[in-house]
């Protein structure tokens, strides 16, 4: 029997205040996938991510996460789904008044009844996973941008989520830090089997980590290509995808 | 100099001599939009970007395929090719000035929406307050103590200084008037009643709105810009529990103490003026001040202060939470938090004064 996809999106329209940015979005994300949402600047990638994570309402259409109707379900069940999801925001979104350890501990204190000792152990382990051992007592303002993102990832992984969303993980990082973060994403996917959804327009990340992808096309305001990014580069279905994946090279049919 | 000739569907533009942007190109959009344009250079002595801008504006509706260049200086041709690279597009939905009635209607609708939003926020805060009473609200006690330290002890100096000055001013102004009746000694009563009843609360409220309310809006607004509020929401942590409650509690706790301090400092300020400038003996001032101290007045002042604390916390947090996602919006949120807090404090003072009058307090 074929397994249900982790996330199923059908005829989704996204936007703000009744204004539709993208429409007719339909795609499946299977368990353990590294799924890339790509597209040019301002095409609605982050809006799609915000809709998938329930930060803004969908204009129309349906989203199922782990078989549950995410749009129409009650807030309790929505919360339950979000408990199994982690999000790494573009800026890391660490709470500036808390140390890294306190940041990572927050979801654990909120949703588990672990003792303080156990929480400290989990925090130290998660920070070690992202290469930040020994930085427990640092404040976000005292570390670099790349470290902030890794600490944000440690917080996203705190509750051992089944899905982790990444909003432009490479934004503002130097090439080496960006590659290290990509390697970390691959490692997490391999070792923990976590389903990973990445919103990005960074080509090196797309080709090195992406197993599946969708291309949001601003000109037609919907998905104009789906599939493995490397395959899409070999057989580009249209000019926009080709230009995007080749940094604007001339398209010849 | 520029010369334009039309041959069938072709417009030939001959450019020669000195081209400095003062030229007038007499073509309309309809004349050139579907035609082929030939830009021909002949003995061009000099040119500048002003001329290129003039040329571009005259032919901006022509697509790049329909323009040919011959014998133009290299830089000018490159600049023109670059400018014509992007297809011409009419401005989408240019902002239109609404007719007067529509403007009023739009303004009214916006007002209703903001009232609804504000009411929802107060409701959210009340339910957080309720959750706190049954021990289900989530916030870190460390945050609460830090916020309390910031709005309590760290405000003592400024509240003391301003209240002292207000007491001083009240005494000066009052004494000038009372002197005409030979009743300067009642300055002590005037200052004591004035400060304990309302001035202490209002001055503390205004200081705290500018100091603490603004800081609440800026802190939470910056959290919005840094996506920290999104992170809270996706973690399933209530923003009112986590951010508003500790701030509200800290202000509700520190306001009565700051008002007591403000009352004392105001009376001391009045004493300073009376003893030093109006030759009223210290013992006399104290006697009249003590006689004019009524517990009811003091409690009315403290009650005002608690209400003001609530207003400052709600305004600061509301504008912080509803802040946009750029630096400019943080500035706007901060300004709005202070302005609205002060306006609402004055409105509430009027309402509470009327209620006290009605109750005979």
pLDDT of residue B91: 67
**pLDDT per residue over A172-213, tens digit each?**
888 888 898 899 999 999 998 999 999 998 999 999 999 999
Is the Cβ pair A91, B237 closer than 8 Å?
no
Residue B81: band (very low, low, confident or very high) from pLDDT cuts 50, 70, 90: confident
Per-residue pLDDT tens over the stretch B324-333: 988 899 999 9
Q: What pLDDT digit, counting tens, does each position of A69-115 carry?
A: 999 988 888 888 888 899 999 888 999 989 999 999 999 998 889 99
At CB < 8 Å, which residues of chain A contact B?
A: 50, 53-55, 79, 82-83, 85, 87, 89-91, 93-98, 102, 106-107, 110-111, 155
- Residue B8's SS3 state is coil
Query: What's the order of all strands across the beta sheet hosting B67-70?
Result: B2-7, B10-19, B36-47, B67-70
- Pick from A184-188, A247-251, B84-88: least confident: A247-251
Residues of chain A contacting residue B230, judged by C-beta atoms under 8 Å apart? 50, 55, 87, 89, 93
Question: Between chains, do A110 and B231 touch, taking CB under 8 Å as contact?
Answer: no
pLDDT at position B58 is 83
In the 8-state DSSP scheme, what is residue A4? P
Q: Complex ipTM above 0.90?
A: no
- Return the minimum-mean-pLDDT range out of B86-95, B156-165, B272-281: B86-95
Q: Where in chain B is the domain with CATH 3.30.750?
A: 2-84
Among B138, B226, B234, whose Cβ lies nearest the Cβ of A55? B234
Residues A131-152 pLDDT 10s: 899 999 999 999 998 899 999 9
- The strand order across the sheet containing A212-217 reads A85-88, A163-167, A195-199, A34-39, A212-217, A222-227
Largest Cα separation within chain B, whole Å, is 107
**Measured between alpha carbons, how far is A135 from A104 in angstroms, rounded to an integer?**
12
What does the DSSP 8-state code read for residue B128?
H
A49, A54, A89, A169: best to mutate for the B interface, most B CBs within 10 A? A89
pLDDT tens, position by position, B176-193? 889 888 888 899 999 999
pLDDT tens string A150-178: 999 999 999 999 999 999 998 888 888 88
State the greatest distance between any 2 C-alpha atoms of chain A, in Å, as a whole number: 63
Give the number of other CB atoms < 10 A from CB of residue B244. 27
The minimal CB distance from A110 to the residues B143, B146, B235 is found for B235
The domain B2-84 is classified under which CATH number: 1.20.1050, 2.60.40, 3.30.750, 1.10.260?
3.30.750
pLDDT tens digits, A8-50: 999 999 998 778 999 999 999 999 999 999 998 888 999 999 9
Residue B107 phi, psi dihedral angles, 5° rounding: -65, -45
pLDDT at B313 over 90: yes
DSSP state at residue B62? S
Give the mean pLDDT of chain B. 90
Q: How confident is the model at residue A1 (pLDDT cuts 50, 70, 90)?
A: very low
Task: Answer with the residue of higher pLDDT: B33 or A17.
Answer: A17
């Amino acid at each position: 029997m074929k397994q249900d996809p982790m996330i199923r999106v059908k005829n989704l329209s996204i936007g703000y205040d009744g204004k539709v940015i993208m429409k007719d979005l339909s795609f499946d994300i299977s368990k353990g996938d590294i799924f890339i949402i790509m597209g040019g600047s301002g095409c609605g990638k982050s809006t799609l991510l915000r809709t998938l994570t329930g930060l803004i309402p969908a204009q129309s259409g349906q989203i199922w996460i782990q078989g549950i109707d995410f749009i129409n379900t009650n807030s309790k069940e929505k919360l339950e789904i979000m408990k199994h999801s982690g999000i790494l925001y573009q800026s890391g979104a660490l709470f500036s008044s808390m140390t890294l350890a306190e940041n990572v501990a927050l979801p654990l204190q909120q949703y588990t009844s672990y003792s303080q000792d156990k929480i400290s152990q989990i925090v130290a382990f998660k920070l070690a996973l992202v290469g930040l051992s020994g930085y427990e007592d640092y404040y976000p303002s005292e570390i670099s941008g790349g470290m902030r993102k890794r600490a944000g990832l440690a917080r996203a992984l705190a509750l051992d989520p089944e899905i982790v969303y990444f909003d432009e993980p490479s934004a503002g990082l130097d090439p080496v830090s960006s590659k290290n973060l990509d390697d970390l994403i691959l490692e997490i996917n391999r070792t923990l089997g976590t389903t990973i959804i990445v919103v990005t327009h960074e080509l090196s990340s797309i080709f090195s980590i992406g197993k599946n992808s969708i291309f949001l096309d601003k000109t037609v305001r919907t998905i104009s290509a789906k599939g493995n990014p490397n395959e899409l580069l070999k057989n580009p279905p249209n000019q926009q995808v080709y230009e995007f994946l080749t940094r604007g090279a001339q398209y010849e049919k | 100099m520029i010369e334009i000739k039309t041959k069938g569907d072709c417009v030939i533009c001959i450019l020669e001599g000195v081209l400095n942007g003062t030229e007038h190109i007499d073509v309309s959009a309809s004349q050139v939009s579907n035609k082929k344009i030939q830009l021909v250079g002949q003995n061009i002595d000099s040119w500048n970007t002003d001329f290129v801008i003039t040329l571009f504006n005259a032919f901006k509706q022509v697509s790049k395929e329909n323009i040919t260049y011959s014998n133009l200086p290299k830089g000018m041709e490159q600049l023109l090719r670059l400018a014509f690279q992007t297809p011409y597009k009419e401005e989408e939905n240019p902002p239109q000035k609404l007719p007067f009635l529509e403007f009023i209607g739009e303004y009214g609708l916006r007002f209703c929406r903001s009232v609804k939003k504000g009411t929802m926020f107060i409701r959210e805060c009340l339910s957080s307050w309720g959750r706190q009473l049954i021990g289900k609200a989530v916030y870190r006690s460390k945050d609460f103590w830090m916020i309390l330290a910031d709005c309590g002890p760290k405000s003592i100096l400024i509240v003391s200084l301003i209240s002292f000055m207000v007491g001083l001013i009240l005494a000066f102004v009052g004494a000038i008037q009372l002197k005409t009746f030979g009743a300067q000694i009642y300055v002590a009563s005037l200052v004591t009643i004035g400060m304990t009843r309302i001035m202490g609360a209002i001055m503390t409220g205004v200081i705290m709105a500018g100091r603490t309310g603004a800081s609440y809006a800026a802190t939470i607004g910056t959290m919005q810009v840094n996506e920290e509020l999104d992170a809270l929401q996706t973690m399933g942590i209530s923003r009112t529990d986590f951010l508003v409650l500790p701030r509200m509690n800290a202000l509700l706790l520190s306001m009565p103490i700051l008002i007591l301090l403000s009352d004392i400092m105001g009376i001391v300020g009045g004493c300073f003026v009376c003893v030093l400038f109006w030759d009223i003996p210290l013992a006399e001032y104290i006697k009249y001040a003590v006689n004019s101290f009524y517990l009811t007045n003091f409690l009315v002042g403290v009650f005002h202060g608690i209400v003001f604390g609530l207003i400052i916390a709600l305004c600061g947090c509301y504008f912080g939470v509803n802040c946009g996602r750029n630096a400019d919006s943080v500035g706007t949120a901060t300004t709005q938090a202070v302005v609205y807090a002060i306006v609402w404090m004055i409105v509430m003072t009027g309402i509470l004064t009327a209620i006290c009058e009605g109750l005979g307090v």
